[in-house]
Amino acid sequence: MPAIGSIYPKKENIFSSKKSLKSLPVLIVRLMKGFLFRKKTEQCGEFLRVAGKVKVSARKNSKLILGDNVLLYHNVGFYLDTDHAVISIGDRTYINRRTEIMCKDNVTIGSDCAISWDVTIMDTDYHSIEGNSDTASVTIGNKVWIECKATILKGVTIGDGAVIAAGALVLRDVPPNSVVAGVPAKVVKSSIHWL
């Protein structure tokens, strides 16, 4: 199990160090890409940063809603596959490379979330089994850390402060401040607080 530590840098004046000055051109490019990306959203907060190509496949009346200070890395994909589909992402959440979110109803991701690379989040099976609904909303709370190659399936609610371990397959709700791991994912630690 990976250590639970801080993934957010300490806030500092952007001009306070040589390193910050060197990263300023990167920040400007990401903000410019974010400005251009806004037209693909229904609603977008301030300071959206886009670090590479992001795919949006959306039906006519579907909605992609982004909060303030969201960061999207290269090859993130948003798939809004019905006219009423809504993907909503809270403030200061980042989504890393090649993560895909598939939505036919509603996927809500809270604020201050860290979503690693190659994560799949989907509120639909895309295929039906007789007697079962193929779609159910996904809700991810605030300050949730989803590690690489995890999969979150339809109907799941993940509580605030939870950690989803690398490669986990989440089929059931995850309690707040817990770590889940495995296939299928099970609680392996409770009462955690990651920084």
127 is known as an active-site residue: yes
Q: For strand 71-72 and strand 49-50, is the pairing parallel, antiparallel, or unpaired?
A: parallel
Distance CA 70, CA 77 (A): 15
The dihedral formed by the CA atoms of 189, 121, 145 and 167, expressed in degrees to the nearest 10: 60
Residue-by-residue DSSP string for 6-69: --SPPP--TTSSHHHHHHHHHHHHHHHHHHHHGGGSSEE-S--EE-S-EEEEE-TT-EEEE-TT
Is residue 144 within 8 A of residue 162, CB to CB? The reply is yes
Residue of 74, 84, 127, 193 marked active site: 127
Q: Which residues are part of the catalytic machinery?
A: 127
